[in-house]
Amino acid sequence: MTALGIVFGVGSVIGMLAIGSGAREESLRFIEQLGVRNILIDARQTMNRDEFLERRKSSQGLSDRDVRILRANIDAVEMFSVRKTLHPASILPKPSLDMPELFGISPSYRTIHSLRLAEGRFFADWDEAASAPVCVVGDTAKVSILGFGPATGKFIKVNQTWLQVIGVLREQLVAGAQNSGTSMQDLNNIILTPRSTFEYRFWDPMSSMRDDLDGVELRLGERADSIEVAKIVTGVLNSTHHGVQDFTVTIPAALLAQQKRTQTIFTYVMVAIAAISLLVGGIGIMNIVLATVLERTKEIGVRRSIGARRTDIVRQFLTESVLISVGGGLTGIGFGYFLAWLIAQTAQWKTIVTTGSVGIAFGVSVAVGLVFGIYPAMKASRISPIEALRYE
């Protein structure tokens, strides 16, 4: 029973660190998926007609003109991809899940976002030049529309246009709440088509209230400073849009650094909370050992009278407290693994139990037993042998 505080303390520390490690890996994977060498520009659309007309007095919104100006003025940009989006009114075969979004993009979009294919190919420059009726679908969209079999070569009807599926993306990390406002909401439930195909074969009924482009992705050279380039991009767009804030600029590299700092603070807070259990367990050990000292006072007197030194008494009680904490720590490690598994199963959170977290939790449990066992052990060693023998 004395070791239960240590068991729960060690288990809580391991569980909290597992949550922090899992959350850190997921968020960092998503940000890296956006591309640490990328800069993402998104149009800030509005459905308020008065606000839209007010914007148009000064700014034409995000457009190909902005792309041409950025291309001409920023040498650090390696490649561009523009993006148009449409929420289809209908898709055949009818999706079994949510309606996928249709993206009209440049072929370079694949390289910029490091997209990998599960089957088929991505569309190329000749598909863009010919406005070819082809598409690449996300993993979720493929299963929702065409089922689990091979999709390459099949056709889907988006609104009134038939598109041939030429490729399927591998499953991508879903952004969820970690999206931070970027345009990549769910690359699994998406249909990608060349931008020229999008403009030639599809009509958006809300186009009169939207910018020419919904987004622009930029891939920078290896030596470019993304934060400094983003400042230049923002300055250029502020100039061409005459100060109207109808766009956002996202820097995944800056998000990555911020996310690492946030996750570190989050982990420290969770560990501090869990460490309270270890502190309570240590106090419990101290109280129990103190009670044991009182109960075994006569035993201490007998041992001292037959030649036991003070250091022997200290070693005896200190060993007992350390053994309690070591036993609790070993049991706590098993409890920590179980807790991490339980959280992953019930809350659907990714948890990662690292060797470092196990070592830290177990090391602290041993230290707790050592620290909180010193006072009772010293108190036992100071008992006078004569008084101890008289003790009832």
Least confident of 17-31, 127-141, 156-170: 17-31
Q: In this structure, is residue 255 part of a structural domain?
A: no
178 and 25 Cβ atoms separated by less than 8 Å: no
Convert the pLDDT of each residue in 149-187 to its tens digit.
999 999 999 999 999 999 999 987 654 433 334 444 578
pLDDT of 32 reads 59
Tell whether 344 and 368 lie within a shared domain. Answer: yes
3-class SS of residue 126: helix
Q: Please tell me the total count of domains within the chain.
A: 2
Tell whether 85 and 190 lie within a shared domain. Answer: yes
pLDDT of 167 reads 94
Q: In this structure, is residue 33 part of a structural domain?
A: no
**Per-residue tokens: 176:** 């969820």
Q: How far apart are CA 149 and CA 142, in angstroms?
A: 9
pLDDT of 158 reads 94
Q: How far apart are CA 330 and CA 337, in angstroms?
A: 11
Tell whether 235 and 276 lie within a shared domain. Answer: no
Tell whether 90 and 229 lie within a shared domain. Answer: yes
Type of residue at 181: G
Tell whether 196 and 283 lie within a shared domain. Answer: no
Of 232-246, 263-277, 370-384, highest mean pLDDT: 232-246
Q: In this structure, is residue 50 part of a structural domain?
A: yes
Neighbouring residues of 31: CB distance < 8 A, sequence distance ≥ 6 = 252, 255, 256, 259
Q: In this structure, is residue 252 part of a structural domain?
A: no
Domain boundary among the residues 245, 279, 298 is at 245
Tell whether 215 and 82 lie within a shared domain. Answer: yes
pLDDT of 182 reads 43
Tell whether 113 and 175 lie within a shared domain. Answer: yes
Tell whether 192 and 279 lie within a shared domain. Answer: no
Show the domain range for 119.
45-245
**Rounded to the nearest 10 degrees, how much is the dihedral formed by the CA atoms of 248, 249, 253, 259?**
-20
Rounded to a whole number of angstroms, the distance between the first and last alpha carbons of the chain is 26
pLDDT of 246 reads 87
Tell whether 206 and 166 lie within a shared domain. Answer: yes
Domain boundary among the residues 190, 215, 245 is at 245
- How is residue 383 annotated by DSSP? S
Q: Rounded to the nearest 5°, which phi and psi values hold at 75? A: -75, -20
Q: How far apart are CA 112 and CA 369, in angstroms?
A: 54
Q: In this structure, is residue 253 part of a structural domain?
A: no
Tell whether 215 and 352 lie within a shared domain. Answer: no
Nearest alpha-carbon partner for 299 in 285, 320, 283, 325 = 320
* Beta strands 247-250; 215-220: pairing state: unpaired
Tell whether 91 and 150 lie within a shared domain. Answer: yes
Domain boundary among the residues 222, 245, 268 is at 245
Instruction: Say whether pLDDT at 212 is over 60.
Output: yes
Neighbouring residues of 338: CB distance < 8 A, sequence distance ≥ 6 = 11
Q: What confidence category does residue 277 fall into, taking pLDDT thresholds of 50, 70 and 90?
A: low
pLDDT of 379 reads 78
The chain-wide mean pLDDT, for the chain, equals 82
Nearest alpha-carbon partner for 27 in 363, 326, 255 = 255
Tell whether 182 and 265 lie within a shared domain. Answer: no
Q: In this structure, is residue 337 part of a structural domain?
A: yes
3-class SS of residue 14: helix
Convert the pLDDT of each residue in 89-111 to its tens digit.
999 999 998 899 999 999 999 88
Q: In this structure, is residue 251 part of a structural domain?
A: no
Q: In this structure, is residue 279 part of a structural domain?
A: yes
How long is the chain?
Answer: 392
Neighbouring residues of 372: CB distance < 8 A, sequence distance ≥ 6 = 282, 283, 285, 286, 289, 321
